[in-house]
Amino acid sequence: MLGRVQTAPGAAEDSFVAKGRLLIVFLVACAFVQMAPAARAAVPSWVRPALRYMVKHDHIQRESFKPNRKMKRAAFKRLMRSVFGGGYRRYRGYVTAGEVARALVNRLGKRKVAVSIADSTSPDGWDPGMSRRGAFEVVARELGLRYNRTGAEEAYEASSGMPLRQADVVYAVWRAKTGPRTWAADALLGFELSNYDANRRAVVRYAFSQLGVPYVWAGEWPTRTPDGYPYGAQAAGGFDCSGFVWYVIKKATTGYQPIGRPYSGWKLAERSSADMARATAKRIGYRYLKPGDILFFSGEGKDAKPSSVYHTGIYLGKGWMVDSKGSSAGPSLAFIGKGSWWRPQFAWGRRVIPVAS
């Protein structure tokens, strides 16, 4: 008969401890295996092609890439030198969205476009005061260098004077290197202003002051909304199409005071583009549009029903509008005249700013 194996005093305890250690090692290993895919998933899908390109061409190290951390100016300087041979000189602090836009627009040879729209004046000599920073942002966005974050990622959106996240910078540099929409930027060379009465001058100037703010779905405020804001909170400043029109035109109230706007605004109770279109008392055809009119667009064109209206903007005259859309990642300029993509999409206009007598 086999007897039990005898163990020295304490051996059983040592064996238990050893087994416990093995169990801990096993659990840690399992946790690591489970965490690895999660770490990879933390890189947003929209930036992965850009990241693969940058790593493959030794422009950045994968281990150093933290998608939602702000990028230091020194890191952006190194990235620009690696990808383009230079184009940025600062090295202290964090690089801003406006700095990234200017650097890449210059490297792509589109500085002339930015300067031309920034220096635009009306035929009677009025200067709307568009900033150079805003103009470079417009060109960068038309080049397709800014990605429109969606959902929970909208909290990472940045206006032109704010630090830009590593994912957004890498995406912008990648697009500039591999596939900028140069044709869209060059179309801005045709930009021109109309003549405006005092009210419309104020509206155009204020609309242009918002260039460089990002696109945010349901956004209607250029910054994180302040305490007591009556129409809901935003995690980051930005506008969708109707929110931009609302912010520029809607009449101010006790609880609603657009930042730095020098005029009180006009009655505009509706918030969505479809509701704004539905409330139109008199539909204005394209040939009768005046600067300051609200524009509506639908795939059904002039035969559209209000429910099919998907986009809105503010008419500037001479076939141009200022609007906020996802494809431009925020407020920008667009030609809607003959031959443009927008022309057959135009449904009608709505006039809320009275015409000066």
Per-residue model confidence (pLDDT) at position 228: 84
324 Cβ partners below 8 Å, 6+ apart? 213, 215, 238, 239, 240, 241, 243, 244, 313, 330, 331, 332
Tokens 């206006």 label which residue? Answer: 159
Range 338-351 burial, b when 16+ CB lie within 10 A, else e: eeeebeebbbbbbb
pTM of the model: 0.87
Q: Using alpha carbons only, what angle is made at residue 10 by residues 8 and 13, rounded to the nearest 5 degrees?
A: 125
What Cα–Cα distance (Å) separates residue 76 from each residue in 49, 59, 91, 298, 308?
Answer: 19, 11, 8, 41, 43
pLDDT above 60 (res 3): no
CA dihedral 218, 221, 222, 227 (to 10 degrees): -120
Model confidence at 357, in pLDDT bands (50, 70, 90)?
low
Domains and CATH numbers, the chain: 47-191 (no CATH), 194-357 (3.90.1720.10)
Model confidence at 356, in pLDDT bands (50, 70, 90)?
confident
pLDDT above 80 (res 70): yes
Per-residue model confidence (pLDDT) at position 227: 84
- Residue 3, SS3? coil
Q: Mean pLDDT in the chain?
A: 90
C-alpha radius of gyration, the chain, whole number: 27
Model confidence at 260, in pLDDT bands (50, 70, 90)?
very high
Per-residue model confidence (pLDDT) at position 2: 37
- Nearest one of 148, 168, 182 to 76, comparing CA atoms: 168
Distance from chain centroid for Cα 209: 15
pLDDT above 70 (res 316): yes
The pLDDT tens digits of the residues spanning 136-179 come to 999 999 999 999 999 999 999 999 999 999 999 999 999 999 99
pLDDT above 80 (res 39): no
Query: What does the alpha-carbon distance between residue 243 and residue 214 come to, in Å, rounded to a whole number?
Result: 12
| AA identity, residue 153 | E
Do 317 and 290 form a contact (C-beta atoms < 8 A)?
yes
Per-residue model confidence (pLDDT) at position 38: 41
- Nearest one of 263, 357, 342 to 310, comparing CA atoms: 342
The pLDDT tens digits of the residues spanning 96-115 come to 999 999 999 999 999 999 99
Crossing angle, helix 111-118 and helix 132-142, to 10 degrees?
Answer: 130
Question: Once rounded to an integer, what is the mean pLDDT over residues 18-40?
Answer: 45
Return the higher-pLDDT residue of 357 and 96: 96
Model confidence at 191, in pLDDT bands (50, 70, 90)?
very high
The pLDDT tens digits of the residues spanning 210-223 come to 999 999 999 999 99
